[in-house]
Amino acid sequence: MNNAYSPQTDRNPGQYPDNFSGNAASHGELHSADVKRVLRNTYALLAMTLLFSAGVAVATLTLQLPAPGLVVTLVGYFGLLFAVHKLQNSGWALPAVFALTGFMGYTLGPLLTNALALPGGAQTVTLALGATGVTFLALSSYVLLTRRDFSFMGGFLFVGMVIALLAGIAAMFFQMPALGLAVSAMMALLSAGLILFETSRIVNGGETNYVMATVGLYVSVFNLFTSLLSLFGLGGSSD
């Protein structure tokens, strides 16, 4: 496959050979140009996947399709995530990304159905959506403007997500609303941290594959929205 259009990089390897002998300033300009290309492609693909996922969620909501269940959700999510990782440098990368985000949109439909059934459900969904958008824009803008390196957060965020996943499963099995609320708050904070981490990796050249960059940001935005939806929904319910 022609690497000129590989998701790994937008630059044709033949354009700048490995023995390029330009000065440090030239190398810096090339690095900056590569980062800008990855950012541009990442945000373009992220916008498309968010719209596609929202469309699937609305369709699921309209048709009143049932929730896939915990096992199907976990298998589908991790299976498609693994597929994206394996296909990230091939022509099948984009279909795999849309399959993943479409599936996550399908799982979102029943959550929206439950949220809208609560008193003030429409306001809850709108508030969660608005808070997610503002948070994403604020955190992304901060990293893009300051170019701070948040790679040191990687280990902490990974451990935190594992703990949150296990605690969330426990809250579902043992019917513990208080634990579920704590997990939602934890997931919201971890998702915000992951937005900083993922954006920082792109800006500082740690992530050169816009497909993987898109998936990382999409999952963070998705988890942030669902966590805020749960927090606002529980806070606004009378149960």
The residue type found at 52 is: F
Q: Does residue 94 sit within a domain?
A: yes
Average pLDDT over residues 88-103: 94
What is the rounded CA–CA span in Å between residue 233 and residue 212?
Answer: 31
Q: Does residue 113 sit within a domain?
A: yes
Q: Is the pLDDT of residue 52 over 50?
A: yes
Q: Does residue 147 sit within a domain?
A: yes
Q: Does residue 158 sit within a domain?
A: yes
Average pLDDT over residues 222-238: 79
Average pLDDT over residues 209-225: 95
44 vs 22: which has the higher pLDDT: 44
Q: Which range marks the domain in which residue 34 is found?
A: 26-236
- Which range, of 21-25, 61-65, 145-149, 158-162, averages the lowest pLDDT? 21-25
Number of compact structural domains in the chain = 1
Question: Which of 135-139, 144-148, 159-163 is most confident?
Answer: 135-139
Report the mean per-residue pLDDT for the chain.
84
Q: Does residue 74 sit within a domain?
A: yes
Entry pTM: 0.83
pLDDT tens digits, 156-192: 999 999 999 899 888 888 888 888 889 999 999 999 9
* CA distances from residue 8 to 38, 87, 214 in whole angstroms, order as listed: 9, 11, 12
Q: Does residue 37 sit within a domain?
A: yes
Q: Does residue 171 sit within a domain?
A: yes
pLDDT value at residue 7: 60
pLDDT value at residue 2: 43
Q: Does residue 209 sit within a domain?
A: yes
pLDDT value at residue 16: 36
